[in-house]
Amino acid sequence: MSYTTEQGVYDTTGFNSDILQELSNLPAAEVATLIASYITNATKKIRDDIGYPLVITKERHLGDGYSWSFELGPQDDPYATLGGYDPTNGLVEIYDAWFAGAKIRRPWPIDCEYGTEAIASWGSSNCTLSAEATLNVHDDTAIKMLFSAAGYAYYPSGKNAMKNIYPWGDVFFSLRTTNKNIVITLRLYDKDGNYEEQTITPTINDTDEFYFIDIATMTDSITWNNTLFQYFEIRVAGATTLYLDNFCFSNGWTFTKPLGLLHVSKPHNISGEAAPSENYPFYVTYGYDPFLASTPANITEAAEWLCGISIIDYLRGIRDREVSYRLFGDSMEPDADSPKGLLGVRSKMMQNYERCMQRWGGGSYGTV
């Protein structure tokens, strides 16, 4: 959910991974992580400059009697101009949702992403774990679980979440499997190794399916109002590949971003065990960024120049730490106007950023 890519940064700034590996003594994977953090920060900086995300307040939606997932947008809102905005593939966050006139508690975590952006913090048995950035449905990555046989994967690896989940009634997630006939089980654990579990039954192979699990109906009940949740575990009965995404605890609703879907849970839907009835109204306040769905070229370039500035600052830090640097000479503080000096390169990148942002009313880099 950002405005550019690692390769885009290299293409615009003239840097590349090999150069950064040599100067920083970091392996390629850590350089990629470093650039990804710069891209995230650049996206945030640009949003701050131009006042994004745009906030849509109390947008009305209507039930149809059978749907649990709803596309955000003005189609059911009598006060919105149809076609005036489109949050599809641009959702940043849902801030609040109202059912039967009451504001319902937000999911946890509030970005509806518990563990599936944190591949380094998982543990497993008979399972190879990796971050999946192509078959994900929510945010930047899903967790790919390649099981060689019956096994399990769990998060967090320290088994130390120490979270009171009692205020939330559901577990929500997206799951894709390559073998729908393999038994899959979700477990929630406390500190003593006690657990509640629920068997998951996919209906189709190689397709993302959304699940709401009512915690109160899981087997081997734990009294969560006085017991802290420590970790969850996905278990399989045989070899298969799973893709887990969008994992969170909810109290009746959650969302998928940037796609722009609002999900209403069956157990906690105010209409009971049925889907929201036809023409039943509910309301959502959310933020969306139209640049996620289609990023203007000058916004992409602006993000890349900001990343270049961050790279320069990083290299200056390395140079100062080592007292000398090999690329740009021996002087600790080269003339800022020198085209070969680090400060000169940084100044040029800053000018390029401001040029790209002029159309959007932003571009003052300030003291950052």
Return averaged pLDDT per consecutive 10 residues of the chain, 368 residues in all.
94 96 93 96 95 94 91 86 81 94 93 94 98 91 97 98 95 96 97 95 94 90 92 97 97 93 72 75 95 95 97 86 51 48 84 90 58
Quick one: 239 and 124 in the same domain? yes
Please report where in the chains the tokens 């070969």 appear, as a residue. Answer: 340
Assigned domain for 95 exists:
yes
Quick one: 37 and 150 in the same domain? no
The pLDDT of residue 36 = 94
Quick one: 234 and 156 in the same domain? yes
Quick one: 193 and 176 in the same domain? yes
Residue type at 110 in one-letter notation: I
CATH at residue 151: 2.60.120.260
For residues 333 and 114, give the distance between their C-alpha atoms in angstroms, rounded to a whole number: 45
Quick one: 147 and 213 in the same domain? yes
Are 318 and 24 in contact by the 8 Å Cβ rule? The answer is: yes
Number of domains in the chain: 3
Quick one: 159 and 90 in the same domain? no
The pLDDT of residue 336 = 47
Quick one: 191 and 220 in the same domain? yes
Assigned domain for 114 exists:
no
Quick one: 228 and 139 in the same domain? yes
Quick one: 279 and 347 in the same domain? no
Pick the closest to residue 253 from 172, 309, 180, 327 (CA basis): 172
The domain in which residue 135 lies consists of 119-250
Assigned domain for 366 exists:
no
Assigned domain for 368 exists:
no
Assigned domain for 367 exists:
no
Quick one: 164 and 67 in the same domain? no
Quick one: 128 and 167 in the same domain? yes
Among residues 271, 288, 305, the one where a domain terminates is 288
Assigned domain for 266 exists:
yes
Q: Are strands 209-214 and 231-236 parallel, antiparallel or unpaired?
A: unpaired
Please report where in the chains the tokens 């017991």 appear, as a residue. Answer: 227
Quick one: 356 and 282 in the same domain? no
In a 3-state reduction of DSSP, which class is residue 321? helix
Assigned domain for 89 exists:
yes
